[in-house]
Amino acid sequence: MEECLRGILYISESCLSGQTVVNDVAKLIDASRRKNAAMDITGALVFTGERFAQYIEGPVLAMASLLASLECDERHRQMVVHFDHRYQERKFMGWSLAYHGPSLYIARHVEGIVSSSGHAREQHVNRMLRLLKGLSDETIDNEHSTNSGTSAEQSS
Amino acid sequence: MSFTAQIASEHPVAYIIDDDDDFRRSLVLLLESAGWRVQGYPLANGFLHEQIKLKPGPLLLDLRMPGTSGLDMLEAGLIDTRRFPTVVITGHGEIESAVRSLKAGACDFLEKPFPAQDVIKSLESGLAVLRSANHPDGRHAGNFDAVGRLTRREAEVLRGLMAGLAYKVIAFRLGISARTVEMHREKLLRKLKVSNNAEAVRIAVLAGVEPMPK
């Protein structure tokens, strides 16, 4: 039988503040990328400035260990798991920061999950997963496409 | 008026490009009553021709328009989103459009019909983007702009560094040699006026550059 994977979506409140946020986020991305790659965990993170929403998936044991360390991570608090499923196949091939920016659209999607329950919450979670997937998907060869969209590329 | 004076003024400027006359006019009235000075355009071309001499300010952009659509304009890089933080508005709020808009450099996405306070909040956050681009912490003000002056290759290498990828991996992804990656890296550090990768990555995050996927 195939190895079983566990996929989790959680939302938490950020404890990062003020002046050092940009620095802290850069450090967090760098550390998470290394750690997750080493543990064979993939997924995507969204940071709205107020909240983190993260989907992570990987081998059951590795996930338990990552969750334990996330729960005592002082960079966030009030961590609530809104989705917890077992799969055979991955949804994400790598781990990335899917979005960090001013968008209230993204923030509203995150709030939608936090403030709902039952079937409504499931729908919000599904939309969030599609958002995470869409925002983190990028083809490697984007030489000729213009939709990989960073301000740096647009003006070069 | 200078750039800084404009974004610090009490009546900030905003722009609207929407071919729906009634919608555009009512939005102009709404925003003016909330203290904004608003310039509306029924066609993308009107704005595109003038944007170089317009004062920076948030832009509300209709996703779907006859001729050049808002998304086309963004994806083609026709809008200077650093001077005009762009909020894409649409009557058809599919997640895919939102994803494409944000990836193409929009700062927000709004589904019609929206409550008045939502459009104002989005414009305010666009204004905040403009302000932080000009006064981040003082120190990186200049090199934030410098990110926009990187060549496509330098920007790609920077995105690779953000992802924490080895030079060899970046080289493979871009189809160039590791030596060339090293060369681009040196040039981009110089352009950003920093001495190491970590500093460059910090500026890139501040400038909203997306890391290369791993």
Does residue A154 sit at the B interface (CB-CB below 8 Å)? Answer: yes
Buried-state track B139-165, b at ≥16 Cβ within 10 A, e below 16: ebeebbebbbebeebbbbbbbbbbbbb
Global pTM reads 0.71
Instruction: Tell me the mean pLDDT in the region B179-183.
Output: 93
Does residue B206 sit at the A interface (CB-CB below 8 Å)? Answer: yes
- At A149 the pLDDT is 36
Q: Across chain A, what does the average pLDDT equal?
A: 85
- Lowest-pLDDT range of B3-7, B35-39, B123-127: B3-7
SS3 for chain B is: CCHHHHHHCCCCEEEEECCCHHHHHHHHHHHHHCCCEEEEECCHHHHHHHHHHCCCCCEEEECCCCCCCHHHHHHCCCCCCCCCCEEEEECCCCHHHHHHHHHCCCCEEEECCCCHHHHHHHHHHHHHHHHHHHCCCCCCHHHHHHHHCCCHHHHHHHHHHHCCCCHHHHHHHHCCCHHHHHHHHHHHHHHHCCCCHHHHHHHHHHCCCCCCCC
- At A101 the pLDDT is 85
Does residue A35 sit at the B interface (CB-CB below 8 Å)? Answer: no
Does residue A6 sit at the B interface (CB-CB below 8 Å)? Answer: no
pLDDT over 70 (residue B168)? yes
d(C-alpha A9, C-alpha A28), whole Å:
18
Tokens of B87: 């909020």
Chain A residues within 8 A of B125 when measuring between CB atoms:
102-104
Instruction: Give B125-145 pLDDT, tens digit per residue.
Output: 999 888 876 644 434 445 566
Q: CB distance B104–A103 less than 8 Å?
A: no
pLDDT over 50 (residue A154)? no
Could you say which residues from 2 to 61 on chain B have a Cβ atom under 8 Å away from some Cβ of chain A? none
Instruction: Tell me the mean pLDDT in the region B90-112.
Output: 91
Does residue A88 sit at the B interface (CB-CB below 8 Å)? Answer: no
Instruction: Please return the burial class of B52, using the count of CB atoms within 10 Å of its CB with bins 0-12, 13-18 and 19+.
Output: exposed
Does residue A11 sit at the B interface (CB-CB below 8 Å)? Answer: no
- At B4 the pLDDT is 45
Instruction: Give A86-120 pLDDT, tens digit per residue.
Output: 999 999 999 989 998 889 999 999 999 999 999 99
d(C-alpha B1, C-alpha B167), whole Å:
45
Query: A26 CA to chain B: closest CA distance, Å?
Result: 6
Question: Is the separation of the CB atoms in B165 and B172 below 8 Å?
Answer: no
Q: CB distance B95–A140 less than 8 Å?
A: no
Question: Is the separation of the CB atoms in B16 and B38 below 8 Å?
Answer: yes
Instruction: Give B80-92 pLDDT, tens digit per residue.
Output: 888 999 999 998 8
Question: Is the separation of the CB atoms in B125 and B107 below 8 Å?
Answer: yes
Instruction: Give A43-91 pLDDT, tens digit per residue.
Output: 999 999 999 999 999 999 999 999 999 999 999 999 999 999 999 999 9
- At A138 the pLDDT is 53
Q: Who wins on pLDDT, B90 or A146?
A: B90
Q: CB distance A95–B151 less than 8 Å?
A: no
Q: If you average pLDDT over each of A8-17, A130-139, B183-192, which comes out highest?
A: A8-17
φ, ψ (nearest 5 deg) of residue A61? -65, -45
Does residue B72 sit at the A interface (CB-CB below 8 Å)? Answer: no
Q: CB distance A146–B104 less than 8 Å?
A: yes
